[in-house]
């Protein structure tokens, strides 16, 4: 029996490691849907529709900072029979600002933009329609630490 395609939703502030994670983990298996590349929500929707019509696994590589933004992907993918999986990228704002400043000029985002997204960021929940949620942070030695999502940890300050 063929496994259902997957919709991967990356969630986090700019410069938290989302695109690096995509390249390391999903580049060979999932199409990347990114506003950085597509430059408009209309193009993003066209690519999403093509993926859903063709049963192509994809990664939404955007900040996906709010429930409303994530909902477009989650509802459409769920209705098409996709497994919907979220990865939340934990990053301290000062660290993300530093990584952002180290980016090439074309990829750099103004500090105010990074701070603005950080201020709007809504933590994901399984209730949004995710089949799985994962907590991701950058490892000090490089790479990523990926742990199962535990909503009880978020509320009590164990994770942020």
Query: Looking at the domain assignment, is residue 52 inside a domain?
Result: yes
Q: Which residue range is the domain that position 109 belongs to?
A: 6-155
Beta strands in 15-148 (DSSP E): 31-33, 58-60, 83-89, 132-138, 144-148
Query: Looking at the domain assignment, is residue 51 inside a domain?
Result: yes
Residue whose tokens read 């989302």: 18
pLDDT tens by residue, 30-77: 999 998 899 999 999 999 999 999 999 999 999 999 999 999 999 999
Backbone φ/ψ region at 56: left (φ over 0), alpha (ψ -120 to 50), beta: beta
Query: What number is the average pLDDT over the span 130-156?
Result: 85
Query: Looking at the domain assignment, is residue 108 inside a domain?
Result: yes
Overall domain count for the chain: 1
Query: Looking at the domain assignment, is residue 1 inside a domain?
Result: no
Query: Looking at the domain assignment, is residue 133 inside a domain?
Result: yes
Query: Looking at the domain assignment, is residue 71 inside a domain?
Result: yes
Query: Looking at the domain assignment, is residue 160 inside a domain?
Result: no
Q: At 78, which CATH number?
A: 3.40.50.300
pLDDT at 53: 97
Cα 155 to Cα 2: distance, rounded to the nearest angstrom: 38
Query: Looking at the domain assignment, is residue 55 inside a domain?
Result: yes
pTM: 0.90
């Amino acid at each position: 029996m063929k496994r259902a395609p997957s919709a991967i939703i990356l969630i986090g502030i700019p410069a938290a490691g989302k695109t690096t994670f995509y390249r390391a983990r999903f580049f060979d298996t999932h199409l990347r849907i990114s506003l950085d590349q597509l430059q408009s929500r209309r193009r993003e929707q066209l690519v999403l529709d093509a993926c859903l019509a063709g049963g192509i696994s994809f990664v939404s590589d955007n900040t996906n900072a709010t429930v409303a933004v994530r909902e477009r992907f989650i509802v459409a993918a769920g209705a098409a029979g996709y497994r919907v999986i979220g990865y939340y990228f934990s990053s301290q704002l000062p660290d993300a600002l530093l990584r952002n400043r180290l980016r090439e000029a074309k990829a750099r985002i103004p500090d105010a933009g990074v701070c603005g997204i950080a201020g709007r960021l809504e933590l994901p929940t399984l209730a949004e329609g995710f089949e799985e949620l994962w907590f991701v942070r950058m490892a000090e030695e490089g790479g990523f630490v990926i742990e199962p999502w535990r909503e009880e940890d978020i509320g009590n300050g164990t994770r942020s």
